[in-house]
Every structure is written in structure tokens, then in C-alpha cells.
């Protein structure tokens, strides 16, 4: 599935921001922004902190949830981003920009990620804002597959989870086999003391 730059690409940026595990430094955030085509990506320490705080709010939009709940989460981000959509012709073709000319870099990131999530929900399907089904991972991702049924963030996680499930099934069947009690034929059973012996009591 193909997403335009200000739609799916911004949503993928949102997912990558959600997957940050610690507040980044400006120089660490810059390559991530570059990978998603963000032009103004040299951020100050304060702007980087603002993006980190924003990323924690983006997290609520990913994973399995009720459609109304997800729409409310995205709407809250759109309201908080205070974006000002406008048509731009800077490359010769009309397309939407979601932040004003000269907007603060952090505000621009807030605007495009909120709009990107809204674009995916409305144009591609809300369920495409997923989280990895592998319990040890749970990374956020945007499902760009043809059928929209992707459950894992990567092939590696899918394979690792399949191996783990196989091992669990194998261990369960082994325990079931070794846990069976071997029953002796009735004629060979002995109860209490051996026949002919006397009790000390």
C-alpha cells in the first residue's frame, strides 16, 4: 500500500517516535527525522524535549482498540497540535501542508504526525495503526501490507514468536506424556504391608 508523504509517512514517523525508549538528544533525533523526509530537523534541546513529550501521547493511537476510542485519541492530538492546513505549490503540484510557514520545528512535527495518523484512520483503516503481537516487543507500526492484517513489527519478530509458540506446544505435549501414571495390573498390586507381615502396633 502506498501512502503519500504527509499521510502514511508522517504516521510512520509517529510510530518511530512512539518506539523511542528514552528521551533522545537532538543529534540522535535528527537521523530519524531525515529518514522520514522532515526538512527542518535540527532541533534545540527544548524542541527535542517537546517532541519526546509529544511522542508519549502518540502512543495511545496504536494497538488494538475500539474505533471510536482511536478516533477520540487522534482528535485529541489534532486539537493539541493546533495545525493550520494549507495548500502549497512549492514543488509545482498542489498538496497540503499541515503547519504554518516558519512554524517551530517541534510544532511542525506535532502537526504532521497528528495529521498522518488521521490520514491513516480515514483513508487506509484504523486497524493499520498496530502494535507487534510478540509480547516481548509490542513496538508500534503502520501496517502497509496489501490486506492490512499484519500482526508483527518485523519478520524477525514473527519468526521468533512462531518458534516460541512451537516450543510451548512441544513442552506441553512432553509434560503430558511424562506426567502419566503407569498403572499396574490388578493382580500385581499390593496394599499396605506385604502379605504375611505383622504390624508393630
Grid cell listed for 91 = 514543488
CA-CA-CA-CA torsion sign (121, 65, 165, 134): positive
- The whole-chain average pLDDT of the chain stands at 83
Helix 105-120 with 10-18: angle, nearest 10 deg: 110
Task: Report the pLDDT value the prediction gives residue 177, as an integer from 0 to 100.
Answer: 56
Task: Please write the tens of the pLDDT for every residue from 85-131.
Answer: 888 887 788 878 787 777 899 999 999 999 999 999 999 999 999 99
pLDDT given at position 190: 38
Residue pair 110/79 in contact by the 8 Å Cβ criterion = no
Residue 199 has what pLDDT? 37
Distances (CA, A) of 15 to 11, 42, 116, 152: 6, 20, 10, 13
Cα 46 to Cα 13, 16, 104, 194, distances in angstroms: 19, 20, 11, 85
Share of the chain above pLDDT 70, in %: 82
Indicate yes or no: pTM above 0.85: no
CA distance 118 to 192: 76
Burial class of residue 94 (count of CB atoms within 10 Å of its CB; 0-12, 13-18, 19+): exposed
Amino acid at each position: 500500500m502506498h501512502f503519500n508523504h504527509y499521510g502514511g509517512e508522517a504516521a510512520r514517523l509517529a510510530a518511530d517516535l512512539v518506539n523511542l525508549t528514552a528521551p533522545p538528544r537532538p543529534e540522535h533525533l535528527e537521523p530519524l527525522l531525515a529518514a522520514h523526509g522532515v526538512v527542518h530537523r535540527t532541533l534545540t534541546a527544548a524542541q527535542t524535549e517537546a517532541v519526546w513529550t509529544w511522542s508519549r501521547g502518540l502512543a495511545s493511537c496504536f494497538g488494538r482498540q475500539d474505533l471510536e476510542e482511536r478516533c477520540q485519541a487522534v482528535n485529541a492530538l489534532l486539537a493539541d497540535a493546533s495545525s493550520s492546513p494549507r495548500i502549497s505549490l512549492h514543488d509545482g503540484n498542489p498538496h497540503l501542508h499541515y503547519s504554518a510557514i516558519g512554524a517551530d520545528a517541534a510544532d511542525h512535527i506535532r502537526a504532521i504526525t497528528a495529521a498522518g495518523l488521521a490520514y491513516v484512520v480515514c483513508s487506509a483503516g484504523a486497524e493499520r495503526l498496530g502494535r507487534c503481537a510478540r509480547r516481548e516487543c509490542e513496538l508500534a507500526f503502520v501496517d502497509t501490507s496489501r490486506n492490512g492484517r499484519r500482526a508483527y513489527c518485523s519478520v524477525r519478530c514473527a519468526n521468533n514468536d512462531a518458534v516460541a509458540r512451537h516450543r510451548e506446544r512441544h513442552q506441553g505435549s512432553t509434560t503430558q506424556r511424562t506426567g502419566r501414571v503407569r498403572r499396574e495390573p490388578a493382580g500385581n498390586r499390593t496394599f499396605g504391608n506385604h502379605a504375611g507381615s505383622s504390624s508393630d502396633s
